[in-house]
Amino acid sequence: MMVERDEIAVVGAGLAGCLLACFLARRGYPVALYERRPDPRTGKVERGRSINLALSERGLDALRRVGLEQQVMADALPVRGRMIHPVEGEPQFQSYSSSGDRAINSISRGALNNALLNAAASRPGVRLAFDHRLVGLDPDTGEMTFETPQGKVTATAPVVLGADGAGSAVRGQLLGYGALTESLDFLDYGYKELTIPPVGGDFALDPGALHIWPRGTSMMIALPNPDRSFTCTLFWPTHGTASFASLGSPAAIERYFATHYPDLIPLAPNLVDDYQHNPVGVLGTVRCAPWQVNGKVGLLGDAAHAIVPFYGQGANCAFEDVVELDRCLDECGDDWPAALPLFQQRRQANAEAIARMALDNFVEMRDKVASPVFQARKKVEHALERALPGRYMSQYELVSFTTTPYAQVHRQVRRQYRVLGPVTAGAATALAGAALVLGRGRRG
């Protein structure tokens, strides 16, 4: 017998909101998907706003469950390791996996969002409402107020799910009601996007790698796009003597990049224009509790737990939230007041674990990846993975290539480190030392 269900409101037709609408439609719910922007499928992409992102196993697993993996992957480029660019000398490739064939996937954020919007729109019972910015929410009644081009409108739903991103208005409303507490930890660092266009119709750099320019206080990364360009993201403090605020003229910009990123200069003809006109984005970690109020209003994705982007996991984690919420609804027989607290109970420790790993990975990417000891440690780790298949996996592999819960990854890596840490560290130091001596020998 088909159960007649009430319409669920999802606020935010971003990555998590659209996927959630697909999952809810599969459960038989009518869904109203409210989005503050106009329909992005008909408009222009905002300049300099995270044009691509890395999708890995957790995100793919979620897409697979609603039959969207193949369609999304058709536009993705596999990235099998890191290419480290020193200030001087040749770039060095470090594979992500011991086998060398496991890849994360570089994908256009806009194309991914549009594919998910199309998927949501094609599901029976899903209604899209663009140009609807949530500005009011009563968590007792589920009454929402939206600003639209025609003025304010209201709507009521028995369940309201906030998938409206790091600056969530749903979270803001709950905060205003005293129904939750939040903490926002902003980094002193911001980010700016720059572009490396194709050269002679081809990629200017190896498209099979995430390119990293580790520079200690600053760092740049680049991911390939299907149009054969690369989107670079420069991470740098927002204020201070060496910061985004410190480069005031085209000459200063050129001088800075020529000193710290010399190999970028011939590859980025629009560097100065990009630098001067692309915005500086903020980076931070959002924590809040509870993630639900009255079993009626819930938060997920960045709205509940935004993280810094250094593990490439924010969207993957948001997609995993959708899978877990669907599982909780299964287990609770679609009883929302039971499913929403269960969802928080299952996901909060995992969100906290990836938040911490993402912050740690910033230090690894900007400082450590270039060090000979780090590179040797990766080689030892890969050797251990080959020697102990299934029993030893690096943190990166567990996070990016499995769906092992993040909190469990954290525990497993600590356990592995207790047992094998001294062996790994000893072997890595010996390897790095040998490489140094042999290198000197060759030069001498």
The residues that touch ligand FAD, with contacts defined as CB under 6 A, are 11-17, 34-37, 50, 53-54, 133-134, 163-165, 169, 191, 233, 281, 301-303, 309, 312-316, 318
Helix, strand and coil percent figures for the chain, each rounded to 5: 45, 25, 30
Nearer to ligand FAD, 11 or 205 (CB): 11
Which single residue is written with the structure tokens 């050269």?
A: 199
Query: Least distance from C-beta 301 to ligand FAD, angstroms?
Result: 2
Contact (Cβ atoms closer than 8 angstroms) between residue 41 and residue 114: yes
Contact (Cβ atoms closer than 8 angstroms) between residue 359 and residue 289: no
Query: Least distance from C-beta 16 to ligand FAD, angstroms?
Result: 3
Select from 75, 33, 31, 34 the least CA-distant residue to 53. Answer: 75
For the sheet with 151-156, list strands across it: 133-138, 143-148, 151-156
Separation between Cα atoms, residue 407 and residue 143, nearest integer Å: 36
Nearer to ligand FAD, 68 or 163 (CB): 163
Q: What DSSP assignment string belongs to 154-181?
A: EEE-S-EEE---TT-HHHHHHHHTTS-E
For residue 263, what is the DSSP state?
G
Nearer to ligand FAD, 32 or 247 (CB): 32
Contact (Cβ atoms closer than 8 angstroms) between residue 34 and residue 134: yes
Nearer to ligand FAD, 361 or 416 (CB): 361
Separation between Cα atoms, residue 75 and residue 312, nearest integer Å: 18
Query: Least distance from C-beta 283 to ligand FAD, angstroms?
Result: 7
Nearer to ligand FAD, 35 or 324 (CB): 35
Nearer to ligand FAD, 11 or 76 (CB): 11
Select from 234, 255, 214, 219 the least CA-distant residue to 86. Answer: 214
Nearer to ligand FAD, 305 or 378 (CB): 305
Instruction: Compute the residue count for the chain.
Output: 444
Nearer to ligand FAD, 133 or 228 (CB): 133
Nearer to ligand FAD, 318 or 328 (CB): 318
Nearer to ligand FAD, 81 or 165 (CB): 165
Query: Least distance from C-beta 379 to ligand FAD, angstroms?
Result: 25
Where helices occur in 226-370 by DSSP H, the ranges are 250-260, 271-277, 302-305, 314-331, 336-363
Which residues neighbour 307 within 8 Å (Cβ) at sequence distance 6 or greater? 285, 286, 313, 314, 317, 351, 354, 355, 358
Query: Least distance from C-beta 51 to ligand FAD, angstroms?
Result: 9
Query: Least distance from C-beta 170 to ligand FAD, angstroms?
Result: 8
Q: Is 76 exposed, middle or buried (0-12, 13-18, 19+ CB in 10 A)?
A: buried
Give the residue at shortest CB distance from ligand FAD: 14
Query: Least distance from C-beta 11 to ligand FAD, angstroms?
Result: 5
Query: Least distance from C-beta 318 to ligand FAD, angstroms?
Result: 4
Query: Least distance from C-beta 351 to ligand FAD, angstroms?
Result: 11
Query: Least distance from C-beta 203 to ligand FAD, angstroms?
Result: 18
CA atoms within 13 A on the CB side of 117: 20
Contact (Cβ atoms closer than 8 angstroms) between residue 409 and residue 399: yes
